[in-house]
Structures are given as structure tokens and as C-alpha cells.
A and B are shown apart, each in its own frame.
Chain A
Amino acid sequence: MTRKQWLLSGFVAFTCLVSTAAVSGPIENYTPVTAQRLENPEPGNWMLYRRTYDGQGYSPLDQINASNVKNLTPVWTFATGVVEGHEAPPIVNNGVMFVATPMGQVIALNAKTGDEYWRYKRQLPDDLFQLHPTSRGVGLWEDKLYLATTDDHVVALDAKTGKVVWDTKVQDYRKGQYMTLMPLIVDGKVIVGGSGGEFGVRGYVAAYDAKDGKELWRTFTIPGEGEPGHDTWHGDDWKNGGGSAWMTGNYDKETKTIYWGVGNAAPWPGETHPGDNLYTSSVLALDPNTGKIKTYHQYHQNDSWDWDEVDAPMLIDLQRDGRNIKSLIHPGRDAIFWVLERTPTKINYVAGWPFVSTDVWKGIEPESGRPIVDPAHKPVIGKRVEFCPSLWGGKDWPSAAYSQKTGLVYVPANENFCGGFTGEKVALKPGELWLGTKPEDIGLKAKSGADHFGELQAWDPATGKKVWQHNFPKSQLFGSVTATAGDLVFVGGTNDRNFRAFNAKTGELLWEQKTNSGIMGMPVSYEIDGTQYIAIQSGWGVDAQRIQDALATNNIGIEANVPQGGVVWVFALKK
């Protein structure tokens, strides 16, 4: 289908009127979100996925610090009413919090009291195949907010009332297209990317007009005939080549460039799609106005391990090897900590090293940054192949963070897991899983004698040195990290339901709080009336649960049961 056809057939504008006897809400005073506010957000707000366009996941607030964090205590909680993985950061704009949950729900709350203003609940189709039932948040622009849904629509809501302003169908969920990401908002454009690599889709990034939901551009991550990079595909493999782009991109406001992570090739065994397979397992540099690909870097070629590299690289100014580098930092699912240099026209490889043990790579070509594959650990058709790390990689989608105070990058990593599967040729059926292996044949094994699994790592990207590491003996680490100017690093992600704060300089565990469920969500920090708050959604599910199930069947004394159910937790210092 052409882009024009999509514009004609995919756009649905409508109005839903709801009359209610309001007790709380609508929101009386809402601060419109502007380009200037998103580019230079007030320290007390968290309006983007990682708070700032550079994706650093860093709050400049320091009222809560390494000295007093032991006094952190819950000030309010709010049950979302749904189970499954609650992965979204609570988004905060001048006292109003927006929480996205699985099953297409958005809740507007008073960020100081936890009182509900309004709730939006999408009616998802009964026949929806929800491989990843989650949402990673809502984007803000002017007086609206934007939700990407698992049935593949983008929805605009009135921020004050929760009423639907527009609703645009992006693609057909029946064909395995879906979205779970938080839209990136740049200058009135709502930019999203599609999920569905497991269904043999052709990935894309697309932009919609924030005012009316009209599609402005769509850029496929798999180049079609006549497009640069198409020759890295064989035959018609590109048509269902994967390359989904299911995480929010970051944005360089100086050069007006979006950096968007792209997923792996489909189906999994590289033998079924020979070639480098651009732009899978890559980062794309896109023009937000046109969607034009300015340049790219492929982290690894011909992916065969399900290692999609969708977590967008952080934009960090580094001094390295005696020069200033405008870097892109990406601890990859492929186990390599990537340091790249972004220029207006090119992305240069600077350095890369394994941050967890891997047997897949023999090294990295020094000029190109192209990793060298050990064929003994690359899955093939008709034979079981084992590889390390597991198919969840060294670090999956949960985001790392960067502290502007310590200069360190904090990585939620997993060590001592390996995986494997037997590749097979399978005919594609639209809307059905297309992995290139039997799902029941996928294995995750704990290394014999492993004394821990999750690792919170602190790396100096300027030197390539690991500064500290905290090990989790009986759990994976599957949650995003947030750093603050209070020299703190916050993370959940473990199967014991704890939310933790570490000393950003030393790695010392300073505080922990047991929550209702396991935490996959992203910690945020905000300020109201002079009080700093830390907020997180607790709610276990999706891939954290899958790893948990695998741990439980490895006979290493770890139970499968982690309770589910979403709750927003908000903390402040005891007064």
C-alpha cells in the first residue's frame, strides 16, 4: 500500500462526547506544552520519555540525595486496576500526572495528592493478539496528549478532560502490527514506530500532525526497491524483513535529527534472509520534518539472535581520547557497549566492548565498528545452536541512564543467561508469529554455577572503564534506570518487588522499598511546591515474567511467582 493510500484509508477522525457528573476534574489549570518547554524542560517536570530529548534519564533535582534518601517514604499510591507489565514513566506537567497502563488505559492524576481527574479506557478488539500487552507512556503537546495503542492506532486526548480529540489507524493489528511505545513529540509532530517484528512486518517510523492526526510521513526501516540499502536484502526478503521500531527515539535539537533504534530482522535465523539487512539492528538518523534518513549505523549485521536494538542511543557530550565527541551511547542487546559519534552527515564508530560475557562476537573491526561473528554461535536451519547472552541480550529495552554529575552511564544488564533454538523455515501467515523456530524450542539457560544474574553497572563512557557493579544473586534486572543530581540511581526490575536507590558514585545500596508487584517501569522525579517526588509504576509481566518463568524451570531455587497488578507509587522525604 502506498503512503497516499494509507493517508486516505488509515485516517479516522471522529468525536466522542461524554457527559459526566464530575466529582474530581476536569483539570482547571493546565500548562500547555510548547517546543521550548520540551527542549528545555523545567527541572521539576518529566514530560518526555527520558525527561529530556537527549534520552539521558537524568533529573537535575537534588533535594533527595545520597545523605537523606534513607528517609524516602511513600506519600501516595494508586491502583491502576489492570495486570501485566506496567512499563510507562508517569509523565508530569506542572502538578498533573498522566499514567499509561496495559490494555490501553490512561489515568490523569493530581501529582501531589494522587486524586484522579479522569480516566480513558480504550476498548481493545476481542480478537487482538497481544504479544506485549503494555504501554510505555503518553506524549504531550500543547493541551493534548497522545497514546499509541496495541491495536495500532494513535489517539489524541484532551489533557484537561481525557476526551478523544482524534484517533488515527496506523496499520492493521490483524496482520501483527501493534504499538507499545510512548510517542515522541517534536514541533507538533507525533512520531511513532511500529512493533511486530515477530510477525514478519516491514518496520517503519511515522509522524502525525498533533492537531488533527493526519499522517505527515512514513519511513520504512527496510528499504524498498530503488532505495539505498535495498541491495543488502536478497529477493523479496525485505517485504517481511522485520526491523520494527517499537521504542521512543531521541532528538538532537541542535541539528534537528531524530535518532531511532531499529529492531532485528525477521524471521530470526539469518540464513533465511542473507545479507546485512539494513536497517535492522541499527540506529537511524531521521529528519523530523520529512522522515528522510540522513544517515545510520548498523550495530550488527544479519541478526540471528532476536537482538533488536530498539532502545535509542543517549546523546552525551564526551571528552574522549583528547577530543570532544558528540556521542551516541548504546549498551546493546548484542552485549556490546557502543560509543558512536554523531555528525550532521554521518555516524562514526568510536569504540565498543562487551559489557556482559558473550560467545557470539570474536571482535569488532576497528574502522567500521562491524562485529566479527563466531559462526559456531549463530543460529542456523535444522540444528540447535546455543549462544550467550540469551535472546533477551545483555540489556533489553529497559533504558540506561547518564548522570551529568558523575559522568557515568548506568546499565540494567543481565549476565549468566544463555539461549538457543533450532532454526526452521516456516511459511509466513499474516497475523501469526513468524520466528523461524518453534516457540516451544526457545531456551534460556542459567550458566552452571552462576552466582548472580542481574547487574546494575556503572560505566565511564569516556574511558571505557567499569566504575562499579551491583549484583542481584537471585533475579534478573529488567527495569529502566533513572539518575538524579542528588547522586542517586533509582531502579526496580527485580523479582523481589523492591524499588531501590544506589549511590551514583559508589554503587552502595542506600534505600529499598518493597512494592505490590515487580517493577518494570521507569522511575521519574518531579517537584511540586518545593517538594521533590520520585514516582514509579509497579506491575510485573511481559518479558520480565517470561524470564522469571525460565528461571523457575532452571532448578536454581527461584520461584516463578511474582504477583501482578499495577500500582503507581510516589515517594518523598519524611517530614
Chain B
Amino acid sequence: MSRASLTINSSSPERSGEPEDDACAEQTRRTVLLGALVTSACLGCSAYARADEDPPGSDERPQKGDVLVFSEGDQEGKLITAADLPAGGPPVHAWPKDPKTSVVRSGSRLNEILIIRLDPAELDEKTRARAVDGIIAYSAICAHAGCPVTAWVKSDVGDKKVFKCMCHNSEYDPRAGAQVVFGPAPRRLAALPLALADGSLSVAGNFIGKVGAAQPG
């Protein structure tokens, strides 16, 4: 697919999609694919204001210093500590939370995170370097079609348990940087650096890698 294709009113890949922005869809001709000079204008495409306003910052990607809270289950909304993470999994599903404003960044599903504690000896070198006490975090959004990665199951192609997206069966090995071990996903899950202080987890940096699915073009 040509990289010269034209984007009208493009939005940052780190922002969630906006329906009315999407209405201004990309349009190309063969000439565009061939790399010809293209100019464009999109009229009537205004910034979309969500009807059900989320608090400011809730759709921003995780920020350094954010704390982490459960995104589901009985403890939904509560802070996650290292003690909440059973050794060997399963992963805990989390949202980042701004400690200053108390805004939970649940305004975009692209912010959901999987946090898992594994035996450091199982981790490859690069993953181990990023882990704290064997605790590592990844985006919960599949790189294939943007479905959630929800399962922690035995791999279809091995004996180890893996992250699995049940939509289209993509599997990721969290011990090896969430590389794809099965299914149609084209690339690994984005990783999220963590910090651990006094048993509390926090975000130590931006996502490493693209969050979510690839789009054509």
C-alpha cells in the first residue's frame, strides 16, 4: 500500500477516533498511489465534540507518573499494587489514572492495559530489562483488528500460556516482548514501562510501539 496516499483531516495516531472526523475519509486516485502531487481541502469537517463528555484527559494516553487502577471486576477503580498480581498470571486489566486530577483515562479503549507478573527467569533479556520484579505491562488492544486481548490460555502452538485475542485468535508471548506467536496479528503489542515504589505501580513512560490496529494506506 502506497505511503503517498492522501490523508484528509488526519488525527494523531495517539488520539482516539472521532466519528465526525472519520466522516472526512481518505480518498485517493491511482495518481496518488503513483506519488503524483496531490492537494486537497476538506470542507465542513469540524472537530468533533463528544456528546457524552468524558473529563479532560480521560482519552489521553498513559502519562509518566500515572497510577494504575483495575478496569474490571470487583475491585474496578481501585489502585493496583504488586500484591494484587499473582505470580505466573493471569494478567490484571487496568486503566491509567492521573494522580493529580484523579481522572481515570478510560475515555479511550486504546488505554486499557494488561499487567502480569511472571518469573523473571522466563523473560527474555529485553523484556526482563523493562520488568520490575517480573511485572510487565502491555496494551490490551490487539494489533490485528483492534479487538481486546482478553484471554490467558495455553497457546495453540506450544505449551505455555499466552495472551490471546479471541476475535481472530492472535496470540502474544508476554515473556518475549509480546511478540506474535500465532494468528493474523502483524506485530507485537505495545509495551508500557512501569515503575514500582513501596509496592505501588506507576507508569514510567510512554507506550513503546503502536497501540491498536494498523489501517490501510
Q: What is the interface of chain A, defined by CB distance below 8 A to chain B?
A: 9, 12-25, 81-84, 103-105, 116-131, 133, 151, 153, 155, 162-164, 167, 169, 172-174, 431-433, 438-440, 442, 541-542, 545-546, 549, 552-553, 560, 564
Contact B32 A20 (CB under 8 A): yes
Contact B27 A440 (CB under 8 A): no
Which residue of chain A is the closest to B169 with respect to CB atoms? A549
Known contacts A15-B44, A16-B27; A123/B168 CB under 8 A: no
Contact A541 B109 (CB under 8 A): no
List residues of chain B with CB within 8 A of the CB of A12.
20, 23
Contact B7 A13 (CB under 8 A): no
Complex: A18 Cα to B9 Cα, angstroms = 12
Known contacts A22-B31, A541-B184; A16/B8 CB under 8 A: yes
Chain A nearest CB from B37 CB (Å) reads 6
Most buried by B among A126, A153, A163, A173: A126
Contact A81 B216 (CB under 8 A): yes
Chain B nearest CB from A362 CB (Å) reads 32
Contact B40 A18 (CB under 8 A): yes
Most buried by A among B7, B8, B20, B166: B166
Contact B16 A127 (CB under 8 A): yes
Complex: A122 Cα to B39 Cα, angstroms = 17
Complex: A5 Cα to B16 Cα, angstroms = 25
Known contacts A105-B216, A127-B17, A130-B146; A440/B166 CB under 8 A: yes
Known contacts A81-B1, A431-B109; A126/B40 CB under 8 A: no
Contact A130 B145 (CB under 8 A): yes
* In the assembled complex, B119 has its CB within 8 A of some CB on chain A: no
Contact B19 A17 (CB under 8 A): no
Which residue of chain A is the closest to B157 with respect to CB atoms? A560
* Contact-size category for B: 35 or more
Which residue of chain B is the closest to A17 with respect to CB atoms? B41
* In the assembled complex, B96 has its CB within 8 A of some CB on chain A: no
Known contacts A126-B17, A164-B25, A545-B168; A83/B51 CB under 8 A: no
List residues of chain A with CB within 8 A of the CB of B183.
549
Per-position binary interface string of chain B over residues 203-217, scored 1 when its CB falls under 8 Å from any chain A CB and 0 otherwise? 000000001110111
Chain B nearest CB from A454 CB (Å) reads 20
List residues of chain B with CB within 8 A of the CB of A20.
29, 31-32, 36, 38
The dominant DSSP class at the B interface is loop
Instruction: List 9 additional contacts besides A119-B29, A123-B22, A153-B23; criterion CB under 8 Å.
Output: A15-B43, A21-B36, A116-B30, A119-B32, A126-B110, A151-B22, A174-B109, A439-B150, A541-B168
List residues of chain A with CB within 8 A of the CB of B148.
129, 432-433
Chain B nearest CB from A543 CB (Å) reads 10
Within 8 A of A (CB), among B42-72: 42-45, 51
Which residue of chain A is the closest to B50 with respect to CB atoms? A174
Partner of B110, one of A15, A84, A127: A127
Known contacts A17-B43, A127-B16; A440/B151 CB under 8 A: yes
Contact A16 B22 (CB under 8 A): no
Contact A83 B184 (CB under 8 A): yes
Known contacts A12-B20, A15-B44; A440/B153 CB under 8 A: yes
Chain A nearest CB from B75 CB (Å) reads 15
Most buried by B among A19, A123, A151, A553: A123
Known contacts A12-B23, A126-B110, A130-B147; A440/B164 CB under 8 A: yes
* In the assembled complex, B28 has its CB within 8 A of some CB on chain A: yes
Within 8 A of A (CB), among B159-194: 164, 166-169, 182-184
* In the assembled complex, B127 has its CB within 8 A of some CB on chain A: no
Which residue of chain A is the closest to B215 with respect to CB atoms? A124
Contact A545 B166 (CB under 8 A): no
